Amino acid sequence: MPELRALGRTAQLVTGSNLLDALLTLGVAVPWSCRAGSCQACLVRCEAGEPADAQPDALPAAMREQGWRLACQCRVIDDLHVRPFDPALDAASARVVSLHWLAGDVLALRLMPERSVHYSAGQHVPLWLAGVARPYSFASLAQVDPWIEFHIGCRHNGAFATAAKTLKVGDSISLGQVSGGALHYDPSWSGRPLWLFAAGTGLAPLWAVLREAIAQGHEGPIRVMHLAREAYWQGELQALQVQHPALAVECVTALPSGLRADRRTIALVCGSPQSVEVFGKALFMAGVPRSQVLVERFLVRGDGAAEL
C-alpha cells in the first residue's frame, strides 16, 4: 500500500486512491471547486514521488516541471510526498482598489496586482481569500484596463462570497495560476454574426469577450442577451450599444421563444449548468450548429454555490 505524506501527516492508502480525497480524509485543507481539472484550486506540489495524472495537459509545462499537479486528477500509485499550494509562498498578491455593489447582490471587484498578470478575455484565475480559493473569470480587458476586475455573485452564502463581503479598499487578495477557459474571441469570426448569451455573473467573461471583439474591429452584428432575475451592468452595456450600432443588447428574465439565427453565427454561452442547457437547446432550435457554440459552465460545489 502506498504511503501519502503531506504537512507532517501520513496515511497508508489503497493503490489508485484519488489524491484530493485522500488529502481531505487526512485532514489537509485543500480547496476545490470542480473536480474536473478546470478551476485549478486543488494544486499540490510533489516533493517526492509521482502520482498517476489523468490530465497532464491541464497545467502549463513549466508548472509541471516544478512538480505541480491537480490533486483531483491524480491517483496515488506509489509512495508520495506533496505540499498543497500555499498562497503566502506560491501566489501573486493584489490590492483591492475598488468595490462596487451592483444589482442582484453582485460585487464588482477591482484589483491592482503587485506584478503583471498575463491573461486573455475568457480566461479565469483562482482567487484566494481567508484560506478559501474560488476560480473567477476576468471581466476586465488586459490591453485596456489598468486593473483586473471580477464579478462576485454573493446571493448564495458560499465561503468565498462571505469573505468577499468584508473586503475593504487596500485589502490584499492572492491570485493563483491563470488558466484558459472555453470562451475567447477569434479574429477570423470578424464578418460573422456573434451571439453572447449569459446568465447571472456569466456576463463577466462575455463582457470581456465583447470588448475584445470590438477592439479587434468585429464587422458582423453582435447580439448580447443577459438572463438574470436582477440584471446588472445594464448601463455599461447600453453605453457600448450607443457607440456601436451593430451591437444589440437584451436584458431579460426569461429566454424569448422563436430565436432564428444565420447558419454562420458563432455563439458563446456562460452561466449555471441549468441556464447553459436552456441556452443550448434554444440555439439548436435557432439553427446554430453545435460546432459553433462555445460553452463555459459555472463550477458548482456541494453547498450549492456557483462560481466562475
CATH, residue 73: 3.10.20.30
What CATH number does the domain containing 252 carry? 3.40.50.80
73 plus 95 within the same structural domain: no
Q: What pTM was computed for the model?
A: 0.86
38 plus 99 within the same structural domain: no
Out of 85, 110, 143, pick the residue that ends a domain: 85
The answer to whether residue 25 is domain-embedded is: yes
Share of the chain above pLDDT 90, in %: 76
Mean pLDDT calculated for residue range 171-179:
90
Q: What share of the chain is helix, strand, coil (3-state, %, to 5)?
A: 25, 35, 40
Residue-wise pLDDT for 47-91, tens only, equals 999 999 999 988 888 889 999 999 999 999 999 999 999 988 888
The answer to whether residue 21 is domain-embedded is: yes
Out of 145, 175, 205, pick the residue that ends a domain: 175
Whose CA is closest to 194, among 168, 222, 156, 219? 222
pLDDT for the residue 132: 84
Structural domain harbouring 25: 3-85
Kindly tell me if the per-residue pLDDT of 300 is higher than 80. no
Residue-wise pLDDT for 281-295, tens only, equals 999 999 999 999 999
261 plus 206 within the same structural domain: yes
Kindly tell me if the per-residue pLDDT of 261 is higher than 50. yes
Number of domains in the chain: 3
The answer to whether residue 180 is domain-embedded is: no
Mean pLDDT calculated for residue range 185-203:
97
| Higher per-residue pLDDT: 162 or 40 | 162
169 plus 263 within the same structural domain: no
77 plus 152 within the same structural domain: no
Average pLDDT, the chain: 92
The answer to whether residue 181 is domain-embedded is: no
Kindly tell me if the per-residue pLDDT of 302 is higher than 70. no
DSSP 227-286: E-SS--SHHHHHHHHHH-TTEEEEEESSPPS-----TT-EEEEEE-HHHHHHHHHHHHHH
